[in-house]
Every structure is written in C-alpha cells, then in structure tokens.
Structure 1
C-alpha cells in the first residue's frame, strides 16, 4: 500500500479535491483552492453538468462522483469555465476527486492568470498551455504587425497626397478632397482659384533654387493663413497653387480674401541669401459643385483667368468668364 502526503498531492495533483459523502470540502490542491475561495461545500462552487443527473438529488451527484464515472461540472460565477474529472473512495466517508479544465483551459488562463507553475510538471495541460501561450504571442505579433502595416499604409497614403516641400496637398490630394466635397453635396456654391507667383523666376535666378524653396514655403504659409477653415489648398506645380472655396455668399467676399492673400505674399521675405520681393496673379472660376461636375473644366477656366491677370501686369484677381 502506497500513500502520499498533502504536499505531494498538491504537487502531483494541484486540481484535486477531498470531500466527504455529504459534499463538505475536507482538502484541496492549490489550483482548486483558487476557485473555492471561502466555500465549505462542493455544491457551493460546482454544479454538475450531466443531463441524466440534472434533476437528481444531491445523493445522486455524490454517487456519480463516488462511482469513478467521469463527470463534467460548471464553476459557479464563471459561465465559460467547466471542469472534467472523476473521484475515488479513499476512506469510508471520503472521496478524492481530481479535475482538469479540458477545452475551457483558455478561459481559465484568462480568468486566473495561470502559467505552467500552476500545473503538475507531467500534466499534458502543460503542452496545451505552451501552445496557448505561443498562439497568444503569435497573435500579438500579428496584431502589432497589422497595426504597423496600417500605420505605414496611412503614412504612404498621406505622402501620396501631400506636397513634401510645403506640406500642402499636391495635385492628386487636391482633386481627392474636391471629390469628397462633390460626393457630400452639402453646399453646391463653390469657387476655385488658380494662383501663380509673379517674379518667382527672378528670385530663383538671383538668389538660387534653395532660396526659391524657402519662398515657396513662406507663400504656402501665407495662403494657409489667408483662407478659412474648410477651404482646400494645394500646390500643384512649381509656383502654382489651387484653392477651393465653399459657401461664399458674395463675390466681393471672395475677392476680398484673395486680395488679402496677395497682400500677404507681397510682404518682403527675408532669406539668408537676400530679400525676395514678389507678388501673385489669381484667376477665379465660380461654379455649382455636384457629383458629376467637370472639375478639370473649372480649373481650366480659372487658369484662363489667371493668364489674363498676368497679361495685365500681375498682382491682381480676375474672374473667369461664365462657361
């Protein structure tokens, strides 16, 4: 006859439970004790989940455990947690039960923060636990990789629609934003302004292309500060800019905004290599925005007005002819 002390039982069977024939708890392994809390009775913590015994008496439940039959029990308070196990008589009035988590192991790991130290070294659950931990690690890496890829995708998309020098939209980004507004259809009254710098070539020739880049950054900031919240601004060429205005009730209001932008641009720009003095010519086309409107045609109308402004000496705003 062999016997094992409580410490040995705890090590070899951390999920064992000792009860008397009335269901009173006489002893328990360390892992089961975490489920028991202050409970004094088997029935306080566990509910038998055997269809044939669901309506049976307490004696039937104890008989099922005593018989050595494999039973399935639910842990009260944990809807997704179930234990599988069986029992043997170890005395006239005492049962030794041994349990395992079975398929609900992942829920147990989450609910009780379990690791391999909670189980017997020879328990096959260790392998499942390693697999679970490995799968969690893999899923974590996949999640992090997906987040990184999404961040890279968004960054690539942002770069694809942004002018890297000024931070304004590029031509593609400008057209994308205009398309969004056309699809929304909230306010059909729009105007598009084509702005081109006067005397910019002289700045490049006199001060160099690096100075020209500084000028473009300063001009972009002047335009950004001059427009209203919700207006769309893009740099679409070397010194060419497009501005989309929405919701302007009057032509004088539109012209006033553009004239003030020109005045901002005409403020001398101090550079490391000298001072840049320039102005801007602007052509404006007013139109009704709709899902099927020809934005390219409206830009062409604004461009035609821009060329007229330049031909008249620059530093002014010209309205496009009605198309």
Structure 2
C-alpha cells in the first residue's frame, strides 16, 4: 500500500486537491486491497481551512502530527500558495521531503516548494499564467512553460488546475500499469494523454510594454500589419537602428528574437480567427501573414502540437 499525502492550507484551489485525489481513490476500485492508495491530508493549521471558492475543508492531521514517511507528497495551488510565504510549511517540507520517495505540486503549488528551496536544479512547470513569476521567484529552478506535467527524478510538477489529474494518472500508470490508469481516465471522462501542451491555452505573444520606445513602436506596428512581410532589416529600419543593434535591444526587452515575435504574433492571430470565425483556412493564413495554409499548418503543428483544423475543432 502506498501513502499519498496532500498538503492543505487556506485559500487553496479546491480542484487542485480533489482532482488528483479522485484519481487515486478511483484507482483503488481496480486494485487489490493490499495495493490500494492510502490518502492522508495534512493541514497547515488546525481546524477548518477555507478554499479559494469558499468551501471549507478539514485535514486529517496537522503539520506537527505529520511525521511519517510518504510515497508521494503533493502540494496544490491557489492564491494561498503564492500570495504570502508560509514559514511553518516551508520548515515542515524541508523535514518531510527527505523521508518522502516522490514529491511535487499541482499548478501554483510550485511556489510553496520553490520557497522551501525544493525545486532548485529541477525541471519544473506551473500554470502558464504564472511561469514568469515563478522564474523570478525561484531563479535556481529550471522552469518550463509548455508541459502539462513534468517528472524530473523524484520531483513531479504540473501545469494549471486540471493538469493535476494528468499528473496523478501518470503516477498510477507508473505504479500499476497503463491499463489501470486508462480505466481511471475512462471513469473521469478525460483523455489518458492530451494532445499538445499548455501552449494551447496561453498566448505566445506577451502584452506589449506600455512604455513607448523604439522596440514597442515596432511591436505595435507588427501586430497591426501581420499580413505584411517582415524581416529583421525591415523592423530595424522602422526603429531607425542597425539590424544588429535593434536585435540586441529587442531580445533584451522582449526576451525573444524579432522574428520569433513575428511568428508568435501570427500564430496568436490565427488562433483567434480559428476560435471566433468560420473563415476558411486560406483566408486565415493570409490575414495572419503566413502566406500559405501549408506554412501555417507546419508552424501550428511544431509549436502547438495540433493542426489548425484540430485546433478549431477543439477550441471553437
């Protein structure tokens, strides 16, 4: 029997907790009693803990009582995970993790592990909306922004909210085989493995900085004229700079190259048109600046893991 522990704290996201725990609970229906998952919830404090949606939950035990070894220790996300530090939780985690076989987080629960120094040197992920914030807060972690979940050695982290179910299914498959995990996925009416990653849900192009500069002027021009051809030389000319100097400033301010920005903007434009219109693919490819459906299909598949047709079917 394996023991799965879940940390509870005020302002947690309830689905981050309940989704993965339901996976382990349903898995027990398909397992002999001796192979069942034993689920334990650990409260950051005694008494009722109110989740971010207002529902109150109560843990089985408190931090002070949680002294056993766990096979898997998970930290859910929610506003309480990143709004303010929890020194008592950090101290407990630093003592609990060495006696735990695997540990990890769902969604923004990564902030709690990161604050305790437990993500340093590991490839990890979190909800796409909080990736940059986690990078700044935990500079020693190797944060990636597109995966639904990641396992790096004994650390498991997942993207936002429902990605915790994907992570838990992967654990069940590892522990008891793919067939059991597939049976659980069927009960939950979810896919065993999703197509694409978090990039399907997040914009590839970050918002243009409000401060006006030569770089932001070029960004705004590109966004307004995506059907025009762009090269680094043309964008540099719009900024009245040499291509080399413009490229250096652009990467410094935007964290991607000028041509990567153009490509991302075109993909985001096409995504919006696929989601909100019934325009034919040829028209969308033209309006987004791809030039051809074939080129648009190639970039969609390489960046998002879906063709434009599959994307429209899934999101429109």
TM range (shorter): under 0.3
Higher percent of residues as helix: 2
TM-score, scaled relative to structure 1:
0.19
Select the structure of larger CA radius of gyration: 1
- Would you tell me which structure has more strand in proportion to its own residues? 1
